[in-house]
Structures are given as C-alpha cells and as structure tokens.
Chains A and B, each alone.
Chain A
C-alpha cells in the first residue's frame, strides 16, 4: 500500500510541531524517518495513527484521502503501529494479546482461542518469528515481545507498519534480528515507516530516508550517504561526537560496591550480588539492555532504594544505609535517567531547580529563609557556564527543551563539590549539540580526578565515555571489560554471555 502524507501541519498553541510535512512511502518500502528527539517524528506518526487530528493536510492511502477520528479508523484502513512502549498485557498469552479487541468467537460468543493460535502460528512461521502462541507475554524477552506487537499489527492486516524507535530496548543482536524481519516484511509487500535517531540503523536497513528537523522536512537522503552527512542534515550543522580524553590517572578507589543485592518492586532480585570499584579519575560505564537492573542499581547507590545485602563505600565512608540527603551531602552527584520525573520540578523555575537538593543551608538558604539574592546570582552564573538556552532564570523548567532541561540538571549536580558522579542515561532525549556539551562536562569531571559512573543503554555513548565497561544482565554484572572491547562482544554480554 502506498502511503502519502500531504502538507500535514499540526500546531500546539503557538508551537508548530509539524509544518507542512510531505512524505511518500511506496509499497514494500522501508522508509526511515530520521530526526532528533523533539523534531516532530512522533507527532507526525500520531497524526497518521489517528491519535491527533491534523490542522491541515491529508493522509492518502493508495490515492484515497482518509480522515481518521481515532486509532480504530487508522487500523481499519491498514495502518499498524508498534509503539516504543509495548501495549501488551503481561499476564495474557501471545495469542490472547494478538486477538485482543477483535477476538474470534465461536457459538454463543465463546472465545475461539484455537483460531487465534493458528493465526499467530501462521504469521510467525511466515516471517520466521519463532513465537509460541501459548507463551505468557511476561515470560518473553523484550525482543520477542516486540515481535508479538508486530504480529498484532499484521493480524489486523496492516499494510503500513510504523515502528517508533523500535531498537531502544534491544541488544545489538536483537536489533540485527529486527532488521532482518523488517526486510522480510517489506519483501512481502508491507510498507514500513521506521522512526529513529540512530544513523547506523538507518544506513543498514532503509530504502529511503526522510530527515525532519524542528517540525519540517529538511530533505531526503540515501542510505549510502555517510553518517556525517546524515548527522549534519539532522542537526543542521556539522557535529563531532568524539570526545578527547587524556589517559586515565587512576587514583584510589572512590566507590566500592560489594555483593550488592536489591529486591525490586515485584519481590525479585533486581540487583543480584553486584561488586565493582570505581577509581578516582576513571569512568566506569554500566552497559546493558534497558531493564536489567541498572536503574535499581543507580537508585541503590544514591539511597533511593535500600539494599537487602552488600555494602556501598564512598572512599572510606559506608553509605550503604544512608538516606538520600546524607548521600547528597557526602558529595555524590546524581543525574537520574528520567529527568522530568526525578530530576526536575517542571513547575519550578530554573533558579528554583538549581536549589532543590540544597535547600537546607548556604548558599541558597539563610537560616529558614531562601537567599534570593544569592540564588539569582548563582542561577545566572550556572545558566551562563552550562549554556542553558532560556529566556530568563524564572522560566519554568517544563518550558525548556529536553537538552536544556538536562543541562539544568547537569549544572546543578556538577556545580557542587563532588566525590562521585553517577549519571544515568545522561543524554537520553537530548539534542546532539547538548550531547556534545554534556559529554565534555562528564569527561571534565573525570579529568578533575573524580570517580564517575555512567549508566547507559546506548553503546555509542558507553564506548565514547568509558575507561572500563561493566555489562549488566538480569541484575548481575556479566563482566567488566576494557572500553576497547568490540561491539559484538559487548552485544553478546548484553544478552547474558560471560566473557
């Protein structure tokens, strides 16, 4: 099926999220939609999927103009979507999930699961998905869950399949498998819109590429174009994502973690007997596919979770059972992975956000009163030093772009006297310009002789920043290796293989 978007415009108040976007996806084509976070990719796809109504423009399928009032209309017209966050019910089987919403029924309206199973098996066999229709979704690895999502779309006769950042949750090997699947689907005639910001993947799988920036189409590109060309189109200027690092001056052990075990929300061991050391002047990156205990490990390190066993030492001080405030006062800087949830108070001004973890004493407080003069001065300095692009320091944090929000968090954490920096997904959802800046700052912290822990699911980021890499899988550290280790080896470790 040929999909055409003609002049799609979507405004949110004064913001133009999509500005007269034209896009043509031919039948059986893998069309990559490349753009930075916040460029308007997801808005465009939500328009296509009927979640938003376009202010202007038409959606044309095989020459017929469609108006979608909701996802139901879009599905009926043959559009399927695999969201970044899966829309599956974990305690249902694959077959049950696939038919949910359009269940085949037998006499007296009973659920006809046999038909459902047959449907799953048929699609799975046709494309080599290797999915058991009776497996519970919660027991499947993430890559397989994603395939269930694809089956779900195909079961409804999707002719156009939209994949929204599908590789964010996958290991490198699973990513390769997904690309194989995409090619197979395209060969069978399905049109695929592949939304991503990862150049490597675009080059590997796309037939054509449309680049969008700030809500508008910048142009088309070919997969044979170099990564530098694509990056320049995406960002609007030449970018340099390499980081120059001096050779590490390893000092004393700044952070020692021994036998750390954390029980998670579902009463399982989410961090299982983890031990490592980070030395002064060293970056240890904790790599792994999302959801393998990295988040909980970081939260345990900063006192947000209580470990059930093991110990955490900052230098000589035992901080295993310290409160968050004690950990902060001990000089641990923490950049949380979800800045809008944990890192910032969106309805506070930038200046207020600079003081949220230092509201008890100087420099932000005088006795019980906020020291407004000091806060204004410090905020002005930090906004300047960390290049936060904002109309003023009393702008609400939620009004800033992702990159600028992250710079506020980074500025707050790095402007204190630190003994350890823990940065979790420090550049997630951040524009390329800000990535460069934040990486430089993290390396500057290392160069200043502080121990640094980076937790990241982006292999590129891990290999750029790290001196050593610890790979986590199912709550355990599979191994700690040198930063020069190959992507293939790291990928195998991320899937659980020991070195």
Chain B
C-alpha cells in the first residue's frame, strides 16, 4: 500500500463533507421541520401569556396550551407577513414587498452559498466566503467610485472585477494548500481577517476609497449611478439585478458541476483524490482552480453587496453572509436547486425577522431556527467524526422509507 502523501491534502475533512452531503433532500426537509419546531418552542417560552398561564398549568392546562398555540401562530404568521405576503397591508405593492425583500436578501446568500458548495464538492471547507466577498467588493467599489466608464460598460466591468477579485482571493487559498499543505480552514479564516483589515484601511484612507467629504469613520462613496445594479421593479421596491446574477450563478453552477468535464474532475477529486491522481488529474492544480471558481461565485455576492446599494459602503458589508453561505450550502446539499431553495429560505428569515420584532418576539429566533436546521443536518456525521464512532451499520427507518419512495420497482 502506498503512503504516497506528497501533500497531506485529503483526510478526514473530505470524508466528513461527503457524509454530510450524502444526506439528501429527505434529511434537509426533516431538518427544516425540526428547526421550525424548535423555533416554536422558543416562541412559546418568550410569550408572556404562556408563562402566566403556566403558573396555574395543573388547574387549567387548556389556558397554557391555548397561549402556546397563539404564540406559535402569531410568531410564524409574522414571519410569513414579513417574508412572503403581507395580507394586512393596504396596497398591492405593500403586500408583495416582503416577497421582493426575501429575494433581495436571498441573492447574495445564494451566490455565496454556491461558492461554498462548490468547494464542498471538491472536498474543501471554504470558510473564507466573507474574506472573498470583501476583497471582491473592495475592487468593485474602486471601479464604481473611482473610475468613470460609459453606461452599461461601467456596471459590467464592476461586476467582473468583483468576480475576479473574489476569485483571486480564493485562488490564494488553493495555492497555499497545494504548495504547502496548509489546511484551507485555517487559511481562509486568517484571510478573512486580512481582507477585513485591507478593506477598512482602504475605506479609511482618503487617497484610496474614503468618501470624498467623509469624516473619521471608514466609509466609501456611493457607487456611481452607472455602476449600480438596476432596480428590477421600479423605485417602489429595493429588489435589484443582483438577484438575477444569483440565478445566472445557479444555472452556471448546475452546468459546471453536473454537465461539464471540469466539474466532473472537481467531483472526482472531492470523492477520491488518490484515484483522481492515479487517473492523471493534477490534484493540486484542481484545488487552486476549484478555490478560484468558488471565489468567483462568492464574487457574485460581492457584486450584490457593493453595487446593489445606493449609499456609501462601510467595512461590514459582508454582514453574516460569509457564514450564512456555509449553512446555505449545507442545507442545499451543495446542489444547484438545493442551494437556490436554501438561499430563499434563509433570505426569507432575514426579511421576516423585523416583523417578528414588531409583535414583540426576538428576531434572533430566526437565527436560532437557522442554526438548528444546520445542526440537524451536520450533527450526526460530525458527532461521529469527533468521537471517531463507526458509521451506522443499520439503515434507519427514514432512510428505508426514503429509499422506497425514490426507487421505482425492485431496488435490486
């Protein structure tokens, strides 16, 4: 047996990723349901009516149950009103606005989710979506605020620069991994700090990107109108063409991973790097290319964040997107349709959270739901990996049921 480990690049990590991804749609769906159930519990316990009724639970349990039910119903209908359709709004525009907000939030989540998903398929943990996004946004902002170009060209160049910037930043990770064997998790996390630092430096320095009449706080100018992503539904809505970019990204991702030979080699390396090497694939080069393409998808999110706004940017434009992207990719099993749906779901959470706050619920409940969804998806294999338990020997009831549902005729 060869221990041909010239580069200690593939190990337990890749196996864990593979196992998380193998859960499929059934596990994703069940995790979402379970996440909502846990969210409901939080809602119940943050309801004052319920807590009051719980004081005399034994004498009149119906009160507590009723209060619990009211809390859940109110909480989730607020989430629905805030993210999909506001049936209490006066005008048509106002009632569908939540839906457009969901799409606007979903755009960067989907795009960056695709980036992380691609890395997963190659067996890499790209924790660096945040850094790649910031680095792409930095150069896109340079184009949008410091360079004058004709209408149309300006936007295209700015978007391309966002993609290239993020791709280059991703490629650095792949290069370091291929060259030195450095683990991509460590490298990406560190590069996140570096990107944030560089961006702040640029936004603080007048000669670089600081807004022209700005004060001491790091902030850029608003992107030139010619470089802004156009609004899709007119000035009534904030939804902009960034969502279209994300959808284009989904289609490209699907073609790349399912149809193209490049994606075939990506998947080959992700599944079995030794066999890929033996089959003549340059595994190290594949890592660099994969991280670059991963970064390119994150670059679409960078374009969303840097060019989708009408005001100056602050260094926190990545928000929590970098980490949300990981959850999107996990929930979406790293497939194109999965990432699309997961991005929409988490976009809805972002859009709907303020409505929950309006009715007195903590908006962080959506974060908790999101966290639990991912935990349910990732936990079984992660727990096994951490405790070095053997893989389960028996198929579960759910797996059997799913198998029956998905196989036609005789499974043999």
Task: Contact check, B271 vs A347: say whether CB atoms are below 8 A apart.
Answer: yes
Q: What chain A residues lie within 8 Å of B393 (beta carbons)?
A: 12-13
Knowing A348-B271, A365-B261, say if A323 contacts B4 (CB, 8 Å): no
- Cβ proximity bits A303-320 to B, threshold 8 Å, 1 near / 0 not: 011000000000000000
Task: Contact check, A345 vs B280: say whether CB atoms are below 8 A apart.
Answer: no
**B276 at the binding interface (Cβ < 8 Å):** yes
- Nearest chain B CB to A364 CB, angstrom units: 8
- Nearest chain B CB to A298 CB, angstrom units: 9
Task: Contact check, A356 vs B282: say whether CB atoms are below 8 A apart.
Answer: no
In the assembly, what is the distance between CA of A342 and CA of B278, in Å?
A: 6
Which residue of chain A lies nearest to B269 when distances are taken between CB atoms in the complex?
Answer: A345
When the two chains form the complex, which single residue of B259, B271, B394, B412 contacts A345, counting CB atoms closer than 8 Å? B271
In the assembly, what is the distance between CA of A357 and CA of B272, in Å?
A: 13
Q: What chain B residues lie within 8 Å of A329 (beta carbons)?
A: 280
When the two chains form the complex, which single residue of A14, A323, A368 contacts B282, counting CB atoms closer than 8 Å? A323
**B30 at the binding interface (Cβ < 8 Å):** no
For residues 238 through 278 of chain B, which have their beta carbon under 8 Å from a beta carbon of chain A?
259-262, 264-265, 267-268, 271-272, 274-278
In the assembly, what is the distance between CA of A348 and CA of B267, in Å?
A: 9
In the assembly, what is the distance between CA of A338 and CA of B274, in Å?
A: 10
Q: What chain A residues lie within 8 Å of B275 (beta carbons)?
A: 341-345, 356
In the assembly, what is the distance between CA of A336 and CA of B279, in Å?
A: 10
Task: Contact check, B276 vs A345: say whether CB atoms are below 8 A apart.
Answer: yes
Knowing A265-B3, A296-B2, say if A346 contacts B271 (CB, 8 Å): yes
Task: Contact check, A360 vs B264: say whether CB atoms are below 8 A apart.
Answer: no
Knowing A342-B275, A347-B18, say if A368 contacts B280 (CB, 8 Å): no
For residues 433 through 480 of chain A, which have their beta carbon under 8 Å from a beta carbon of chain B?
none
Q: What chain B residues lie within 8 Å of A343 (beta carbons)?
A: 275, 278
**A431 at the binding interface (Cβ < 8 Å):** no
**A299 at the binding interface (Cβ < 8 Å):** yes
In the assembly, what is the distance between CA of A302 and CA of B271, in Å?
A: 22
For residues 150 through 177 of chain B, which have their beta carbon under 8 Å from a beta carbon of chain A?
none
Q: What chain A residues lie within 8 Å of B5 (beta carbons)?
A: 265
- Nearest chain B CB to A86 CB, angstrom units: 13
Q: What chain A residues lie within 8 Å of B267 (beta carbons)?
A: 348
Q: What chain A residues lie within 8 Å of B406 (beta carbons)?
A: none
Task: Contact check, A359 vs B264: say whether CB atoms are below 8 A apart.
Answer: yes
- Nearest chain B CB to A66 CB, angstrom units: 22
Task: Contact check, A338 vs B1: say whether CB atoms are below 8 A apart.
Answer: yes
- Nearest chain A CB to B233 CB, angstrom units: 35
Q: What chain B residues lie within 8 Å of A357 (beta carbons)?
A: 278-280
Q: What chain B residues lie within 8 Å of A265 (beta carbons)?
A: 3-5
**A191 at the binding interface (Cβ < 8 Å):** no
**B395 at the binding interface (Cβ < 8 Å):** yes
In the assembly, what is the distance between CA of A417 and CA of B4, in Å?
A: 28
Which residue of chain B lies nearest to A296 when distances are taken between CB atoms in the complex?
Answer: B2
Question: How many residues of chain A are within 8 Å of chain B by beta carbon?
Answer: 40
**A391 at the binding interface (Cβ < 8 Å):** yes
Q: What chain A residues lie within 8 Å of B280 (beta carbons)?
A: 323-325, 327-329, 357
Task: Contact check, A336 vs B272: say whether CB atoms are below 8 A apart.
Answer: no
In the assembly, what is the distance between CA of A323 and CA of B278, in Å?
A: 10
Task: Contact check, B271 vs A368: say whether CB atoms are below 8 A apart.
Answer: no
In the assembly, what is the distance between CA of A139 and CA of B363, in Å?
A: 65
Knowing A265-B3, A368-B262, say if A304 contacts B268 (CB, 8 Å): no
In the assembly, what is the distance between CA of A302 and CA of B4, in Å?
A: 13
Question: How many residues of chain B are within 8 Å of chain A by beta carbon?
Answer: 29
In the assembly, what is the distance between CA of A323 and CA of B1, in Å?
A: 21
Task: Contact check, B2 vs A295: say whether CB atoms are below 8 A apart.
Answer: yes
Task: Contact check, A325 vs B282: say whether CB atoms are below 8 A apart.
Answer: yes
Q: What chain A residues lie within 8 Å of B395 (beta carbons)?
A: 13-14
Task: Contact check, A391 vs B1: say whether CB atoms are below 8 A apart.
Answer: no
**A267 at the binding interface (Cβ < 8 Å):** no
In the assembly, what is the distance between CA of A343 and CA of B276, in Å?
A: 9
Q: What chain B residues lie within 8 Å of A327 (beta carbons)?
A: 280
Q: What chain A residues lie within 8 Å of B278 (beta carbons)?
A: 302, 304, 324, 334, 336, 342-343, 357
Q: What chain B residues lie within 8 Å of A346 (beta carbons)?
A: 271-272
In the assembly, what is the distance between CA of A295 and CA of B265, in Å?
A: 25
Task: Contact check, A356 vs B2: say whether CB atoms are below 8 A apart.
Answer: no
Knowing A369-B260, A369-B261, say if A324 contacts B277 (CB, 8 Å): yes
Q: What chain A residues lie within 8 Å of B412 (beta carbons)?
A: 391
Q: What chain B residues lie within 8 Å of A352 (beta carbons)?
A: 264
Q: What chain B residues lie within 8 Å of A13 (beta carbons)?
A: 393-395
Task: Contact check, A370 vs B259: say whether CB atoms are below 8 A apart.
Answer: yes
- Nearest chain B CB to A391 CB, angstrom units: 6
- Nearest chain B CB to A33 CB, angstrom units: 22
Q: What chain B residues lie within 8 Å of A325 (beta carbons)?
A: 280-282
Task: Contact check, A369 vs B274: say whether CB atoms are below 8 A apart.
Answer: no
In the assembly, what is the distance between CA of A299 and CA of B393, in Å?
A: 35
Knowing A325-B282, A370-B259, A370-B261, say if A299 contacts B271 (CB, 8 Å): no
Task: Contact check, B274 vs A341: say whether CB atoms are below 8 A apart.
Answer: yes
- Nearest chain B CB to A268 CB, angstrom units: 13
Q: What chain A residues lie within 8 Å of B261 (beta carbons)?
A: 359-360, 364-365, 368-370
In the assembly, what is the distance between CA of A347 and CA of B261, in Å?
A: 17
In the assembly, what is the distance between CA of A338 and CA of B275, in Å?
A: 10
In the assembly, what is the distance between CA of A177 and CA of B277, in Å?
A: 40
In the assembly, what is the distance between CA of A360 and CA of B279, in Å?
A: 11
In the assembly, what is the distance between CA of A368 and CA of B265, in Å?
A: 11
For residues 9 through 53 of chain B, which have their beta carbon under 8 Å from a beta carbon of chain A?
18
Q: A325-B280, A347-B272, A364-B261 are in contact. List 10 more A-B contacts (CB 8 A).
A: A13-B393, A299-B4, A304-B278, A324-B281, A341-B275, A343-B275, A345-B275, A359-B264, A359-B265, A370-B259
A-B contact pairs, 23 of them (CB 8 A): A12-B393, A13-B393, A13-B394, A265-B4, A265-B5, A295-B1, A295-B2, A299-B2, A302-B278, A304-B2, A325-B280, A325-B281, A327-B280, A338-B1, A341-B1, A346-B272, A347-B18, A348-B268, A348-B271, A352-B264, A356-B279, A368-B260, A369-B261
Interchain residue pairs A-B with the least CB separation, the first 6: A325-B280, A357-B279, A356-B279, A324-B280, A342-B278, A345-B272
